[in-house]
């Protein structure tokens, strides 16, 4: 008789990358709030807010939700979270490149963070951890294995 399987330990670099992901989600949420406050300020002064403010607000909240959902999925060991996070980071990197070309050097920080997260998602150790988590879930959810020597 065997006891319950020991929980698989998440690779350290993936844990560090998730800290950055949750920080990105928090910052995107804050940027969305700032855009929302700016829109309210324009409206209070009888002005029509620029359409780009609505876009910034919407995209900030969407990215915050996407980063948060994929980060939680990764914490739980679901591989789809890795692919959703990859999509968010690639879109974030494209936005960062546009900002960098537009003359915003602080966009370089976001590009470096996105690069670190993306490279982490494709490390062999990280991919193996996701495969092991999937196998662990299949083993727990699947039918019980027959005991040795029993008839099937």
Q: Which residues of the chain have pLDDT under 50?
A: 1, 3, 144-147, 150, 152
- Burial bucket for residue 118 (CB in 10 Å: 0-12, 13-18, 19+): middle
Q: What torsion do the CA atoms of 16, 19, 24, 25 make, to the nearest 10 degrees?
A: 140
Residue 50: its pLDDT value, please?
84
Q: Give pLDDT tens digits for 15-50.
A: 999 999 999 999 999 999 999 999 999 999 998 888
Residue 109: partners with Cβ closer than 8 Å, 6 or more residues away: none
Residue 88: partners with Cβ closer than 8 Å, 6 or more residues away: 63, 66, 67, 70
Residue 51: its pLDDT value, please?
86
Residue 32: its pLDDT value, please?
92
Tell me which residue of 10, 5, 15 sits closest to 117, measured CA to CA. 15
pTM assigned to the model: 0.80
């Amino acid at each position: 008789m065997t006891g319950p399987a020991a929980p698989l330990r998440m690779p350290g670099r993936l844990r560090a990358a998730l800290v950055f992901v949750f920080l990105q989600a928090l910052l995107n949420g804050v940027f969305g709030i700032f855009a929302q406050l700016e829109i309210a300020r324009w409206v209070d002064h009888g002005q029509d807010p620029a359409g780009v403010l609505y876009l910034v607000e919407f995209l900030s909240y969407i990215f915050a939700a996407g980063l948060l959902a994929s980060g939680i999925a990764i914490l739980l060991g679901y591989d789809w979270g890795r692919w959703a996070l990859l999509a968010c980071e690639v879109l974030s990197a494209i936005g960062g490149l546009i900002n960098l070309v537009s003359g915003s050097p602080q966009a370089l920080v976001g590009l470096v963070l996105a690069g670190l997260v993306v490279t982490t998602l494709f490390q062999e150790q990280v991919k193996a951890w996701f495969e092991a988590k999937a196998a662990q879930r299949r083993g727990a959810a699947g039918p019980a294995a027959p005991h040795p020597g029993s008839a099937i």
